[in-house]
Amino acid sequence: MLWQIKNPTMLLILTMIFSKLIIKIEYKNHIINNIIINNMNNTFYHESWKPLFDKFKSMPSNLETLYSDESTPVYPEKENVYRVFEMDVKEIKVVLLGQDPYHGPGQAHGLSFSVPSCVKIPPSLRNIYKELQNEFPERNYNFVSGNLEEWFYREKIFLLNASLTVEKGKPSCHMKLWETFTNTVIEFISEQNPKCVFLLLGNFERQKNPIF
């Protein structure tokens, strides 16, 4: 059966569904009206980020190069590299800055510190959970999953890594490749959303202080 779809909105809805870039059903209507598609690598990002991405027009071709060698696995999957930019920069309440994606198979999915629900909670995220439990014992937190999509979509916590990609088993190997881009992201957020709170964890993240 051949479907002829003439409605651009319906075409966009189907594209998002089949590319698995939308997880929360209740979030779809918000994204459909505000998303820009980068046709060079099927990147989805909110229109509020367009001025930033316009400054880095070579990024799609660079991304293709990173993923071109099939003998060297790169994480997360290519379609999830810019996933965090689905959020409107004006809606960000907190930026939680990590170092780089998890470098094991099936762990990274485009959001810092987060892993899919079926994956064991990593030590770095377990430490965050422990601090929350110690700081707010009255809330009786019981964290059973390392999936932070709820934090991202509902709580508007921008889960950014300083490096957006990593090779299997080689932490920090792409840090220099992304440094200029993610530093510019931080500056852009500071300019566009001055009320946003930045949460920096660990010695590496504290090196970002001069940017603010």
Q: Using CA atoms, how far apart are residues 114 and 129, in angstroms rounded to an integer?
A: 12
Q: Using CA atoms, how far apart are residues 33 and 1, in angstroms rounded to an integer?
A: 29
Q: Which two tokens stand for residue 123?
A: 């030590």
Q: Is the C-alpha dihedral spanning 145, 151, 153, 155 positive or negative? A: positive
Residue 177, phi then psi, degrees to nearest 5: -65, -30
Q: Which two tokens stand for residue 32?
A: 């459909």
Which among 54, 69, 88, 100 is annotated as catalytic? 100
Q: Determine whether 100 is an active site residue.
A: yes
- Closest to 102 measured CA to CA, from 143, 151, 152, 159: 159
Q: Among all residues, which ones are annotated catalytic? A: 100
